[in-house]
Structure 1
Amino acid sequence: MVYLQTDSKVSKMEDAQDKDILESSVEFTGQHAAEGRSGGWLAGNFLLVNQGLATLAFFGVNVNLVLFLTRVLQQSNAVAANNVSKWTGALNIFSLVGAFLSDSYWGGYKTCVVFQAVFVFGLTVLSLTSHLFLIKPSGCGDQWTPCGSHTNLEVRLFYFVIYMVALGNGGYQPTVASFGADQFDEDDPKEAHSKDTFFLYFYLALNLGSLLSNTCLSYFEDRGMWAWGFWASTVSAFVALLIFVGATPTYRHRKPGGNTLSRFCQVVVAASRKWRVGMPPGAADLYEEDGKELQVAGGRRRILHTEGLGFLDRAAVVDSDDFTFQAQSTHRKLWRLCTITQVEEVKCVLRLLPIWLCTILYSVVFTQMASLFVVQGAAMRRTVGGVTIPPSIMSAFDILSVVAFIFFYKRLLQPLVCRVRKNTTGLTELQRMGIGLIIAALAMVSAGVVEHFRLKLRCRGCTDASSLHIMWQVPQYVLVGASEVFMYVSQLQFFNGQTPDGLKSFGSALYMTSIAFGNFFSDFIVTIVMKITGKGGRPGWIPANLNDGHLDRFYFLLAALSCADLVAYVVCAMSYKCIKMEGRREKATSGFHV
């Protein structure tokens, strides 16, 4: 392996790493992070509380946005649903913006503060706009009192504000997840275990915040008290921001690594320029620099060479034209010669993409909980103790299932698997994601069976009525919740662990973009299914009156697609090559394969 010698010796950097947690992590004072002074659960607990409050604030807007559009802005169900899908998709795409700024320039702390401030400002303006311009006459927007018409300026102001809320929350979410992971040193066995636990509790905090929002804030908003609900979200987001900023001295900060896009482009351009260059055997003659360059670029650790995607290795082949000589110094031409670490960064991302693509169909299943599950519940008998419950309240069983299965996995399943396998890791992330896909398919089968019997007990000549009770939906909600624990929590752990030091927020953003594309792909599947099954004047599988359709067949179709996706996922997971960080090769190459 070819090294460029600089004034900083590798041995000195390694000695420094013995004293400090990571060369790339610093404390608020600028000192290298050390165990006991910062990070760990002291910082992690503050971030979990912050996440719960921020989630409560976000879902105070998200959970009833479609009702606000129909009741207050007087949009049709179809138009409102389409606008909510676009808004949700944009929110998850905004996660890439936050991830890029965090990884490249700002770092996790600054990115979290800026986007949380945007989030709070957006909620404040939304509350004011709703109170002053949209909720007219006062008290409108409930089930019985429609609101008046609005000017184009008022509507445009509303959309500007909710997209500001989406930008704030979308840019913050992947960054706070990776920033929380940065509080734990993955090379320390004890802290590495705490890091995995942090992701479980992070998703738990998200669901608890959602539960409070779905119950408390939804109550106010469903009864037309929209401004009160939005103000409650604003206060929750503001308190979350105060907690985050107040805990500043406890955090470990990872230095940003510079423009990630330019590093990627340099590898592609350099490899393309050398497409005729002969490749040396192995990695012995490929170019790598000593520790100083990586320290300057955010303290990133070296990534060891891996086989596969050999075309990119050409970017690290040394050529006589790769350097410029000025006075007594030598400078590398960045667009002609790249380090092995740069090349491996590109390889890591390319190898993650097949796994990421396989998670999109799971997100299609997940989105049904907020759409077709609710429509199905509305067409069932919903009387409990003499009170008619809204079908959306059934999502509480999903949240309770998430909470239960997190503790089930943490306290029972993981220790049992560790004891059987005689190791300390238990199920790997890829294995847990595969289990999540299996449970998701079972959830669709359960939903299809319930719909089959709902149609058998439908009221002839009635509109969306059946004598089957809504509580028969509980198993499908519980199964979706269980699948989330295995799929989404493992996604966060896997993408964070398998991305290089300079791309941790990008790894978390992959989880959110999977949900975004799941929303888009779900709309696409529904459109195609209705176009095919609705030919010749037939009502199709998902008509306005479910009693005339076959929603059960659609659920079984999703179950079949999930099984096919599982097969593709297993193939991708079996061929996946893990990242190999310098100093922990054995850990990096074991424990991830299915």
Structure 2
Amino acid sequence: MPGGLSCAVVLLLEEELLAPVVVLLLNCLLCPSPEQRSHTASRFIIVGPAYFSEQLTKQPEAKDSENPLNKRDGSHHCRLENAVSHHRRWIDGQARKPSNQSKNGGMENCYTVARTDDGLTLALDAVNYGLVTCAFFGVGVNLVVFLRRVLHQGNAEAANNISKWTGTVYIFSLLGAFVSDSYWGRYVTCTVFQIIYVTGLIILSFTSWFFLVKPSGCGADHAFCNEPSTAGVALFYFSTYMIAFGNGGYQPSIATFGSDQFDETDPKEARSKVAFFSYFYLALNVGSIISNTVIVYYEDQGEWVMGFWVSAVAAVLALVLFLIGTPNYRHFKPSGNPLTRIAQVFVAAFRKWHTKVPSSGDLLHEVDGDASRITGIRRILHSEELRFLDKAATITEEDYAAQEERMKDPWRLCTVTQVEEVKCILKMLPIWLCTIVYSVVFTQMASLFVEQGETMDTEIGSFHFPAASMTLFDILSVLAFIAIYRRVLVPAMARLSGNPEGLTELQRMGVGLAIGMAAMVVAGVVEVERLKRVEVPDQPSSMSVLWQVPQYTLIGASEVFMYVGQLEFFNGQAPDGVKSFGSSLCMASISLGNYVSIMLVSVVTSLTDKDERPGWIPGNLNSGHLDRFYFLLAALSLIDLAVYVACAMWYKGIKLDNGDEKKKAMAHV
């Protein structure tokens, strides 16, 4: 399961909301009523995303006299234009809070259906995201087995192909975040990429049905299908990478789109926002459990086509649910291309390289209102880090002499907010780079863990337990450790540190790195013991697959600390203009982790597979040394943890213009 697993289920566990939500989820799954929604969906598909992008961002024009951004008070003489309150966001010239509680925002209306019953509305929204997750893992969690049994790939080749595919899923999240923040907005981005996602699943289902799973029902247990045709393999890769493109582009925008419906400055809305993320992540877990148990079980029995079709239908239902809520959503106008703004800061700083930066941040340039080049975001206060970038906001005599002309040249003079936006991104990058090694560890759960499990005894009594279904213990571990963290660790750490949250985001991420390292050590020890119990070289070991439970459990525990903390950190520290980019950093970390895993597997294979030696990861793991690869990952994790601690101690958080630090991370782990 990808990072971002449900720390926010904590709210459900503490307030005893889990049971009624699950009941509502089941009711919605059994009674989707698609007939009543077909008109809205068909109308949307015909009209197209461009129409909705234009209509949904239209707002009534505010009179100039009512616009507080037109006011000037003349203070801070060095500024070309003075700043005013940014406690309200601006959308197409009209001032309003991020969420109108009485109309389109608030807890009741942020979900994907019209207001009828609040509980049903909440459950349907959970089903929406849960179905997307169920569809994705219905394909992805057992894909390494499909590659081996249906496409006849070896262990190393299949593991690398899974890493490439998973990495592509999350690298496309950067593209989705870019178009969402810059041009399309979150609603249109979510819709377009969901349509691509559904199309890919349908093509995959047809391809498997007509070209790959021959004879019907092949690929069960350790049985192999006929050699696939070239056309079938080509369509398979085309469809799976279309799925990667659609899901990757959709993921970074959907969470941010939901949070857009709330006003974080309102205490009630802030709590509702926490509840939103709770249900959001609960849906992810429920969808994952369904795909990791029911769908995977039938796929392992050779029912690949049925499993893919179930995933496709789930994705279609999710798209319909999303479209139904269109009239109730709150939309924010995109803030423009962030890459251009970033380039402007570097160019302006370079052009003023010999200019002395003022000692006080109050002497740097800042504007507001219509003159601001970044629409729809709050101002960021000046910080003392990376001072060389402040040259871009330093006002020179030349700027005073040609004020009007220079204000129109963003490549010479930038605002403090624009400079701080670049600083925020640069300061987050070292932390982000340190998360990549953890993603290398995490990605083994979808590849080498499954291949290791297939070489173990998967019979539990008279029941066959598919190796891919072992990820169920990862999900259960996530839920269990959330409760342990919230009810045991938070109170204890709060007393020791004085922080009511127990651990900061950076501290949690550090703990996650350490637990991930321990998971690799345990996986290596299990592999050592498995090899000792191999009786026939080409047959599975007599060691039960349940011995993998500890390594899956540790991975789940590490997710609670690492990925949940990472999601909160990057989402909270990202400026308003690059919110989706902040969310996409988590997914980009997983993407690069997969690509680094590919590189490591390839390098290890080339170095160890020499002189007729089988290497560490051969086609038959019984003749290899997978344990050494796990121990190598543990050593790399230890080095990464040391570097991470140094980066976390250096980091300072973002500050907004209301004087509050926005989810400021502690300076140590």
TM-score relative to the length of structure 1: 0.89
Alignment match, 1:339: 415
What letter is aligned with 1:146?
A: C
Distance 1:158 1:389 in 2: 27
Distance 1:173 1:146 in 2: 34
Alignment match, 1:393: 469
Going from structure 1 to structure 2, the CA distance change for 1:84 and 1:476 (only over 3 Å counts) comes to: closer
Alignment match, 2:6: none
Alignment match, 2:14: none
Alignment match, 2:442: 366
1:502 pairs, out of 568, 573, 577, with 577
Deviation at 1:169, TM superposition (A): 0.5
1:549 pairs, out of 609, 617, 624, with 624
Q: How does 1:123-522 map to 2 (within 5 A)?
A: 123-142=201-220, 144=223, 146-147=225-226, 149-152=228-231, 154-196=232-274, 198-199=276-277, 201-294=279-372, 297-322=374-399, 331-418=407-494, 421-459=497-535, 462-463=537-538, 465-522=540-597
Contact 2:654/2:661 (CA < 8 Å) preserved in 1?
no
Deviation at 1:406, TM superposition (A): 2.6
Distance 2:128 2:298 in 1: 23
The superposition leaves residues 527-572 of structure 1 with CA deviations (integer Å, 9 ceiling, x where unpaired) of: 3333444454443333334343333333222222212211111111
Contact 1:303/1:344 (CA < 8 Å) preserved in 2?
yes
Alignment match, 1:10: 84
Distance 1:543 1:210 in 2: 30
Deviation at 1:254, TM superposition (A): 3.0
Moved more, 467-476 or 32-41: 32-41
Moved more, 300-309 or 366-375: 366-375
Alignment match, 1:527: 602
Moved more, 373-382 or 333-342: 373-382
Distance 2:624 2:227 in 1: 35
Going from structure 1 to structure 2, the CA distance change for 1:190 and 1:422 (only over 3 Å counts) comes to: farther
Contact 1:360/1:515 (CA < 8 Å) preserved in 2?
yes
Deviation at 1:312, TM superposition (A): 1.2
Distance 2:661 2:228 in 1: 65
Going from structure 1 to structure 2, the CA distance change for 1:241 and 1:413 (only over 3 Å counts) comes to: farther
Going from structure 1 to structure 2, the CA distance change for 1:32 and 1:487 (only over 3 Å counts) comes to: closer
- 1:254 partner SS: coil
Going from structure 1 to structure 2, the CA distance change for 1:377 and 1:79 (only over 3 Å counts) comes to: closer
Going from structure 1 to structure 2, the CA distance change for 1:428 and 1:253 (only over 3 Å counts) comes to: farther
Going from structure 1 to structure 2, the CA distance change for 1:200 and 1:455 (only over 3 Å counts) comes to: farther
Going from structure 1 to structure 2, the CA distance change for 1:131 and 1:92 (only over 3 Å counts) comes to: same
Deviation at 1:468, TM superposition (A): 2.8
Deviation at 1:196, TM superposition (A): 4.7
Contact 2:393/2:415 (CA < 8 Å) preserved in 1?
yes
What letter is aligned with 1:285?
A: L
What letter is aligned with 2:392?
A: A
Going from structure 1 to structure 2, the CA distance change for 1:119 and 1:299 (only over 3 Å counts) comes to: same
Moved more, 233-242 or 201-210: 201-210
- 2:229 partner SS: coil
Contact 1:26/1:254 (CA < 8 Å) preserved in 2?
no
- 1:258 partner SS: coil
Please, which runs of 5 or more residues in structure 2 have no aligned partner? 1-75, 112-121
- 1:284 partner SS: helix
Contact 1:263/1:342 (CA < 8 Å) preserved in 2?
yes
Instruction: Percent identity, please.
Output: 57
Going from structure 1 to structure 2, the CA distance change for 1:345 and 1:128 (only over 3 Å counts) comes to: same
Alignment match, 1:575: 650
Please, which runs of 5 or more residues in structure 1 have no aligned partner? none
Contact 2:92/2:333 (CA < 8 Å) preserved in 1?
yes
Deviation at 1:315, TM superposition (A): 0.9
Deviation at 1:77, TM superposition (A): 4.8
Contact 2:524/2:627 (CA < 8 Å) preserved in 1?
yes
Q: How does 1:93-104 map to 2 (within 5 A)?
A: 93-104=171-182
- 2:456 partner SS: coil
- 1:10 partner SS: coil
Deviation at 1:245, TM superposition (A): 2.1
Distance 2:329 2:572 in 1: 20
The superposition leaves residues 60-98 of structure 1 with CA deviations (integer Å, 9 ceiling, x where unpaired) of: 221233344444445555544433332222211111111
Contact 1:25/1:33 (CA < 8 Å) preserved in 2?
no
Deviation at 1:149, TM superposition (A): 4.4
Going from structure 1 to structure 2, the CA distance change for 1:220 and 1:497 (only over 3 Å counts) comes to: same
Distance 1:398 1:26 in 2: 48
Distance 1:323 1:585 in 2: 32
Contact 1:107/1:255 (CA < 8 Å) preserved in 2?
yes
What letter is aligned with 1:185?
A: D
TM-score relative to the length of structure 2: 0.79
- 1:463 partner SS: coil
Distance 2:639 2:159 in 1: 29
Moved more, 55-64 or 178-187: 178-187
Contact 2:155/2:617 (CA < 8 Å) preserved in 1?
no
Distance 2:402 2:325 in 1: 48
Deviation at 1:217, TM superposition (A): 1.9
The superposition leaves residues 313-344 of structure 1 with CA deviations (integer Å, 9 ceiling, x where unpaired) of: 11111234458969x88743111111111111
Deviation at 1:255, TM superposition (A): 2.5
Going from structure 1 to structure 2, the CA distance change for 1:201 and 1:79 (only over 3 Å counts) comes to: same
Going from structure 1 to structure 2, the CA distance change for 1:249 and 1:323 (only over 3 Å counts) comes to: farther
Moved more, 33-42 or 386-395: 33-42
Aligned residues: 580
Contact 1:433/1:487 (CA < 8 Å) preserved in 2?
yes
Deviation at 1:383, TM superposition (A): 2.6
Distance 1:424 1:193 in 2: 16
What letter is aligned with 1:554?
A: F
The superposition leaves residues 405-430 of structure 1 with CA deviations (integer Å, 9 ceiling, x where unpaired) of: 23333444335544555554332111
Contact 2:164/2:598 (CA < 8 Å) preserved in 1?
no
Distance 1:403 1:26 in 2: 44
The superposition leaves residues 240-288 of structure 1 with CA deviations (integer Å, 9 ceiling, x where unpaired) of: 1122222234433333110111001111111111112222223232111
- 1:305 partner SS: coil
What letter is aligned with 2:443?
A: T
Deviation at 1:589, TM superposition (A): 4.6
Distance 2:668 2:347 in 1: 32
What letter is aligned with 2:436?
A: I
Contact 2:105/2:262 (CA < 8 Å) preserved in 1?
yes
Deviation at 1:393, TM superposition (A): 1.9
Going from structure 1 to structure 2, the CA distance change for 1:331 and 1:97 (only over 3 Å counts) comes to: same
Going from structure 1 to structure 2, the CA distance change for 1:130 and 1:422 (only over 3 Å counts) comes to: same
Going from structure 1 to structure 2, the CA distance change for 1:570 and 1:40 (only over 3 Å counts) comes to: farther
Contact 1:94/1:166 (CA < 8 Å) preserved in 2?
yes
Going from structure 1 to structure 2, the CA distance change for 1:163 and 1:189 (only over 3 Å counts) comes to: same
What letter is aligned with 1:568?
A: V
